[in-house]
Amino acid sequence: MFFLYGELGYNVLHLPLLTPPLSHRGSTQGEGDRLRVDDEMMKCKNLQEPAEDFRYLLNREYPRKAILELIGNRYGLAYDQRHLLHRGVFSDADSKSRRKKRIPVGGIRNKDLAIDGYNVIITIEAGLSGRPLVLGDDGFIRDISGVSGAFKKTLKTEEALQLIFSAIRKVKPRQTLFLFDSPISMSGRLAQEVRDRLNGENLLGDARAVRVPEKILIGFRGIIATSDTAIIDQSKKVVDLAGDMIKKRIGLKALIRWSRKSLPTSLCKRKAY
């Protein structure tokens, strides 16, 4: 293959029990431990003030781990609510930096593309299923289900792959590399199915199941499709492929986003399409 790989490492930070991990990749959550996206979690008005406080402290460079715990304890937030804040609220500096790295999908044309497999697929599946998504301060759309480690292929997975391949055929990257987390069950089989599809459609590329995809994604010399903040922060060009397809091809049934007013509003914005 023609891909040039980076060798930088990636560390997962571990937080206290009630605070979500700073990365949910390779999670060992079981089916019964998935985040509950219920009515209580969707009551954004209860999270607007915590979100404002969280962002205020992030902007003053307090450690993210510590202040998420502090804000969570201060407002008595459940794990799910803390996870929602973690997925959507960022400092102004981080948000600005990530927005500068984000390119439109059309910018992929004739460029090498690396796809963060589960990150992109799970986000698209959330959009297809009408599950809530969060629009982060940094402009990236993320799922909030926390199902990564418990991922199982379904009919929605096939629909998501069809959308991804449709985008590849349309924008015509030079070559495409799909990466899947091998610790997640059946990743090798999924990678083989994607390789077969690439070959069957005469698309230049590869699909691999590797233990730590971040070691390849970080430092990749082309464009990376992901919404993973750790990867974005250490990359030069990123595309929100899942977010773009959800907005243009699927439509947003439930989108959570935060008001950026200096004082808390009565509720956070939720769009219904």
- Higher-confidence residue of 27 and 189: namely 189
- Look at residue 154 and tell me whether its pLDDT is greater than 60: yes
- Can you give the pLDDT at residue 23? 47
pLDDT digits over 50-97, tens only? 999 999 999 999 999 999 999 999 999 999 899 999 999 999 999 999
- C-alpha 101 chain-centroid distance: 15
Mean of per-residue pLDDT scores for the chain: 83
The pLDDT-based confidence of 149 (bands split at 50, 70, 90) is low
- Can you give the pLDDT at residue 27? 39
Overall average pLDDT of the 237-250 stretch: 94
- Look at residue 40 and tell me whether its pLDDT is greater than 50: no
The full DSSP string for 36-87 is ---TTTT-GGGTHHHHHHHHHHHHTT--HHHHHHHHHHHHT--HHHHHHHHH
Model confidence, pTM: 0.82
DSSP, collapsed to helix, strand or coil, labels residue 163 as helix
Q: Which domains does the chain have, with CATH numbers?
A: 13-21+37-89+258-273 (no CATH), 101-256 (3.40.50)
